[in-house]
Amino acid sequence: MIKSLIDTSRRDEITEAVELNLSRDEDSVTSLAVAPQVDDESHSLIALAGINSSLSEQKKNNNEHMRAFRFQAPRKAQAVQTESSTGEETTEDQKEKQTEMEVIPGSSEAVSRASIFRTKGSGSDDTYQRILRLSPWKKLADDENADQKSKDTRIGAIATGMASSGEIVFFRANGSPSESDVIGRIRLGSNEEAEDIDFADLELDQEQKNAQGKYRMAYTNGVDVMVGEISSSTRSNAAPDVRNIYTIPLPSSGAKAGRPKIRALRFVSTNTILLLQNAPDRGGSELVLISAPTDKSHTSTILRRRKLPRSVKIGLGLDICPLGSNVVGQQQTIIAASGSDNSINIWTLESSPRKGWSRFRPFTTLTDVHPFSMTKLVFSTFTPPAHPVTPEVLPQRVKLASISMGNTVVVHTIPLSPFPPSSRTPRYVLVAPGPAEIWELIYFTTMCLLSFLTILTALYAFAEIRGGVPPFLGSKSWLPISWRDTISLDYVVPPPEHRSFLDTFFLSDSNTPIPSSRISSIPEKSEITFDNELSSLKEILDKVHSSGAAPADIETVGPHDISIIVRCTEHNDAETSVLIETASSTHAEKVSEMEKLRAWKELRDEDRDLWKRRLTDAGRWTVEQGEGVLKGVLFGEICGGVNRVVREGLE
């Protein structure tokens, strides 16, 4: 087994700087964290790792799982002059003076090993160091002395995995942590494990006083989020004071099997926590931003939520990168979440003391990052340049590294920009916040408008089918033919004095002539007259039946200028067997016989609506009688009576 220090200083190349061979008799590395040694002139790195001892040592109840390794990266020494073989410097006629940088190779060594868990391993126990998390790293000023650095020592936390009784241990993250560096322990319940742990530096909280060396910690068991405070200056095996601030609610059915689970958590501020939460049965993943109130009387609230893409069935990893704040406290945070589809989704999150937290803004999705499932992803620490920013300051960037079960390492370089660009004291952002908020507002407004128009169109189509509004969309034609007679109703144009805005807009008001395209086969009101003796369509039918005989063409009884003629054909369908002839067609010149007569079914909707209104105005038919009377009784019965009379005459 090999442990390597990788050089990622070049964007287009990753090289192995230093490697360290580990014992094959021992377990593989299960957790890893790096602590730069700022008080070391050589600027070496201390890597803390969780590695179980060999089985033979575990059987002796000795599992030295906490390991510390020192890595020294290759570096260049001061320049030296190159002299000739005679010891004299080369002349001007020869080569000029040459300078070379002596490269000192990197080195690695094992520093310490210790057993910190109270849960001791045994031959039948599979307990291992599942989680290793350090408090945020901060760059110290050059003028700070060693005592100050000692007080600012980082703290760390480790948690067990596959233990019969879980445990979380807090310790001082010095160069070689041991049991004497333990500052607190939390004993978990039976078969309970910590899913993730994180720290927030209370020195960054302006409301905290004398918070040097104090941290706020949070951990989750998958369902609950617990928070508490801990200090690097304490020396105790006692459990710190923690309290539950958030619990995933049970589903409505109450079944625990269907409960979501928290996969990871990160502090985005001292009183705000970001959760990566997975739905049950691979039902997707989402980010949940919750408050972490310091007042014990207050409960946590959900501030923001954001679902990961549908292709992500399970969220695997989470990390954040704060980009530093300006003088008014505005800050942008980069968020990265890995998924089961081997993708990494990146968002930005804006915060300010006045507006609070913005929405999660998607930045990009990195697809097919690894050929196998990712096991870890982590951002590099971003330290903003000192103010004022001069033109000599190089472009800023952060890096995102990820590893997979296939032993692959991928590093993405993400460039940053100053905001505002022309300021001498800017803050750095991945995406400028201003235009994004405007486009989000435009997008939200557009979607609301489209939704409103869709609902309005659906309501108008339904009203049009039911005959409540003038026909405009032609929604009746959307229905199957078998449904039209059952569901749809014809629209009857009301008198001018009772017309609504829709009638005036879609048809024509009393002062506006109807277009010629709409008056085909439609007589004016003055052209339609009826016998005063008739009071209903039923009386027309009765008079036809009482006539004893009737010609093949039956005129409605009335004065000689009547222009409505009903003619029967051989069709059985009332809508196609009855032809209607109007005055406009009978008096028109050069009109064929087929153009004079039109079946009721062939008339336009507005034509039929106008016939119904004329009949209603004359008192011959009412809407309550239904169209069945109009088509079935009038047309069907009249044609049936005519055929019967003709057959009787032939006999």
Q: What is the largest CA-CA distance in the chain?
A: 147
Q: Each residue of 397-442: pLDDT tens digit?
A: 999 999 999 989 999 999 999 999 888 899 999 998 866 556 666 7
3-state helix, strand, coil in the chain (%, to 5): 25, 35, 45
Which residues sit opposite 160 in a β-bridge? 129
Gap between the Cα atoms of 66 and 32, Å rounded: 10
- For range 226-243, the mean pLDDT: 87
- For range 547-553, the mean pLDDT: 42
Which of 308-317, 555-564, 617-626: highest mean pLDDT?
308-317
Q: Each residue of 557-604: pLDDT tens digit?
A: 333 333 344 555 545 454 554 555 544 444 445 455 555 556 666 666
Quickly state the pLDDT bin for 628 (edges 50, 70, 90).
low
Between these two residues, 462 and 84, which has the higher pLDDT value? 462
* Strand 272-278 versus strand 374-379 pairing type: unpaired
Gap between the Cα atoms of 591 and 582, Å rounded: 12
DSSP class of residue 421 equals T
Which pLDDT does position 355 carry in this prediction? 86
Which pLDDT does position 466 carry in this prediction? 84
Strand, helix or coil for residue 203? helix
Residues 6+ apart with CB under 8 A from 485: none
Please give the structure tokens belonging to residue 555: 């005129």
Position 39 pLDDT exceeds 60: no
Kindly calculate the radius of gyration of the chain based on its CA atoms and give it in whole angstroms. 43
C-alpha pair distances (Å), 50 with each of 24, 36, 117, 131, 647: 15, 18, 12, 8, 106
> Which of 215, 209, 194 has the alpha carbon at shortest distance from 31?
194
Which pLDDT does position 255 carry in this prediction? 54
Quickly state the pLDDT bin for 209 (edges 50, 70, 90).
low
Strand, helix or coil for residue 411? strand
Please give the structure tokens belonging to residue 634: 């009038």
The dihedral formed by the CA atoms of 412, 418, 421 and 427, expressed in degrees to the nearest 10: 150
| Element (DSSP H or E) covering residue 486 | helix 481-487
- Mean pLDDT of the chain, nearest integer: 77
Residues 6+ apart with CB under 8 A from 95: none
Position 349 pLDDT exceeds 80: yes
Which residues sit opposite 365 in a β-bridge? 345
Q: How far apart are the first and last CA of the chain?
A: 113
User: Can you list the positions of beta strands (E) in 482-525?
Assistant: none
Contact between 65 and 129 under an 8 Å Cβ cutoff? The reply is yes
Position 515 pLDDT exceeds 50: no
Dihedral over Cα of 43, 44, 46, 47: its sign: positive
Between these two residues, 211 and 240, which has the higher pLDDT value? 240
Which pLDDT does position 242 carry in this prediction? 93
DSSP class of residue 569 equals -
Secondary structure of 322-350 in HEC code, one letter for each residue? EEEECCCCCEEEEEEEEECCCCEEEEEEE
Position 1 pLDDT exceeds 60: yes
- What are the residue boundaries of the structural domains of the chain, listed by start? 323-430, 432-475, 490-650
Q: Look at 58-67, 93-102, 514-523 and tell me which has the smallest mean pLDDT.
A: 514-523
Position 106 pLDDT exceeds 60: yes
Please give the structure tokens belonging to residue 123: 């031959």
Residue with tokens 């890893």: 32
Gap between the Cα atoms of 149 and 167, Å rounded: 29
Q: Look at 97-101, 168-172, 203-207, 438-442 and tell me which has the smallest mean pLDDT.
A: 97-101
Position 19 pLDDT exceeds 60: yes
Please give the structure tokens belonging to residue 642: 């005519």
Q: Look at 47-51, 290-294, 576-580 and tell me which has the smallest mean pLDDT.
A: 576-580
Using omega within 30 degrees of 0 as the cis cutoff, is the peptide bond preceding 293 cis? no
- For range 324-351, the mean pLDDT: 94
Contact between 264 and 278 under an 8 Å Cβ cutoff? The reply is no
Contact between 322 and 416 under an 8 Å Cβ cutoff? The reply is no
Gap between the Cα atoms of 159 and 466, Å rounded: 68
Gap between the Cα atoms of 454 and 215, Å rounded: 53
Strand, helix or coil for residue 313? coil
Gap between the Cα atoms of 264 and 221, Å rounded: 10
Which pLDDT does position 213 carry in this prediction? 81
Which pLDDT does position 191 carry in this prediction? 83
* Count of C-beta atoms within a 10 Å radius of residue 525: 11
Position 302 pLDDT exceeds 90: yes
Residue with tokens 């209607």: 580
Please give the structure tokens belonging to residue 517: 């395209």
Which pLDDT does position 519 carry in this prediction? 32
Position 528 pLDDT exceeds 60: no
The rounded percent of the chain whose pLDDT value lies above 70 is: 66
Whole-model pTM above 0.75?
Answer: no
Quickly state the pLDDT bin for 287 (edges 50, 70, 90).
very high
Position 530 pLDDT exceeds 60: no
The dihedral formed by the CA atoms of 443, 444, 450 and 454, expressed in degrees to the nearest 10: 150
Q: Look at 139-148, 208-217, 288-297 and tell me which has the smallest mean pLDDT.
A: 139-148
Which pLDDT does position 146 carry in this prediction? 42
Which pLDDT does position 8 carry in this prediction? 86
Q: Each residue of 74-95: pLDDT tens digit?
A: 877 655 444 444 444 445 554 4
